[in-house]
Amino acid sequence: MEQSTAVPISQSKPQTQRSGKIKRYMWGYLFLLPAIAIFTLFLWLPIFKGVMSSFYTIDFVKGDSFVGLANYKTVFQDADVLVSVKNTLYYMGLALVIGFWVPILFAVSISEMRRFQGFARVAAYLPYVVPFVVLYGVWRWLYDPVGPINAVLKSLGIGQISFMVDRAWSMISIVIMETWQSFGSAMLIYLAAVLSVPREWYEAAEIDGAGVWQRIRHITLPAIRGQILLMLMLQLIATSQGFQTQYAMLDGGPNNATLTYALLIVRYAFVRQDYGVASALGVLMFFALSILAIIQFRINNRGGVES
């Protein structure tokens, strides 16, 4: 009898706890539902479907047909893939060399400014809001063989540079243009980090006789190291997917000098209508980017703790 009375009591307790938990978190779960639905529909399912598509010849009208690893075989036999991988790595490297330090430099410089700091922030951020079409038009004009940059070079006695069609310059020109356009956004992140460094540290350093460069080297840069690492990973991920400018300005030319991996995917999908091979390329890229994403995630977590 004791047992028979004890059992319902012991069973009812967890039930009460569970229902209490459900009640407690119900609204939270409900708020999660739209996000889960959207992520499932527009991200996870497409990724899954993309992986599946890489094993099929896609034909929207006549129906798909399973081809096993044939699409991957095409990828590994296509000489353009290797070219595009090299170009992408070159593009990523150039973006680091030419563009990565620019927002840091501007953030640190602006943080040191005593006057016009607000103006400098807005001025640096403005290019980021320029629409791409306008951006391409402006830079096409700037890079024109008889445009302003070449006019200056000519006046300095330096020869004319074919910024767009000289293979040695085409990718560099793209990176310079993109750096000009996008450094403002990264600069704001760095600036926020720099401004969050306790002022007392700088005051103490000044009392100890530290100059501007020493303050930057021994206080600012170490203090924003987490952000620098995070931005590095984000930039690597972003540039590894770059294709928009290469497509709009040069369509991957001259002679594939700006053909990036992502642009090759676009060509396979939308020029050759070969969605199966495009998916296979996408899947390979997905795995490569996943590694970068994991590193970024770890840095992010570690940086968050440190900061």
**Residue whose CB is less far from other proteins, 54 or 111:** 54
- Out of 98, 120, 229, 237, the only residue in the binding site for other proteins (CB under 8 A) is 237
∠255-261-265 over CA atoms, to 5°?
A: 100
Q: Which stretch binds other proteins (CB under 8 A): 6-14, 55-63, 109-117, 200-208?
A: 55-63
Tokens 């639905």, residue? 37
Tokens 């980017």 locate to 289
- Contact flag: residue 242 with other proteins (CB under 8 A): yes
Site for other proteins in 196-235 (CB under 8 A): none
- Rule CB under 8 A: is residue 73 a binding residue for other proteins? no
CB atoms within 10 A of CB 29: 10
**Distant-in-sequence, close-in-space partners of 2: CB < 8 Å, separation ≥ 6:** none
Question: What residues pair up with 306 in beta bridges, in sequence order?
Answer: none
| Residue 272 binds other proteins, judged by CB under 8 A | yes
Q: Which of 19, 29, 36, 42 binds other proteins (CB under 8 A)?
A: 42
SS3 56: strand
Q: Could you say which of 63, 68, 157, 209 contacts other proteins (CB under 8 A)?
A: 63
- Which residue of 23, 24, 62, 199 would you call a contact of other proteins, by CB under 8 A? 62
Q: Is the dihedral of CA 152, 158, 164, 168 positive or negative?
A: negative
Q: Which one-letter amino acid corresponds to residue 232?
A: L
Q: What is the dihedral of CA 128, 133, 134, 137, to 10 degrees?
A: 120
Binder among 93, 127, 254, 303 for other proteins (CB under 8 A): 254
Q: Does residue 253 belong to the site contacting other proteins (CB under 8 A)?
A: yes
Query: CA 279: distance to chain centroid?
Result: 20
- Kindly tell me which residue out of 244, 295, 299, 303 binds other proteins, with binding defined by CB under 8 A: 244
Contact 254, 246 (CB under 8 A): no
Residues 140-199 that bind other proteins (CB under 8 A): 143-146, 160, 162, 164-167, 178, 182
Asked if 271 interacts with other proteins (CB under 8 A), we say yes
Instruction: List the structure tokens of 298.
Output: 């770890």
Token pair for residue 296? 């970024």
Q: Should residue 265 be labelled a site residue for other proteins when binding is judged by CB under 8 A?
A: yes
Catalog residues that contact other proteins under the rule CB under 8 A. Answer: 42-43, 45-47, 49-50, 53, 58-64, 78-79, 143-146, 160, 162, 164-167, 178, 182, 237-239, 241-245, 249-251, 253-256, 262, 265-266, 269-273, 275, 278-279, 282, 286, 289
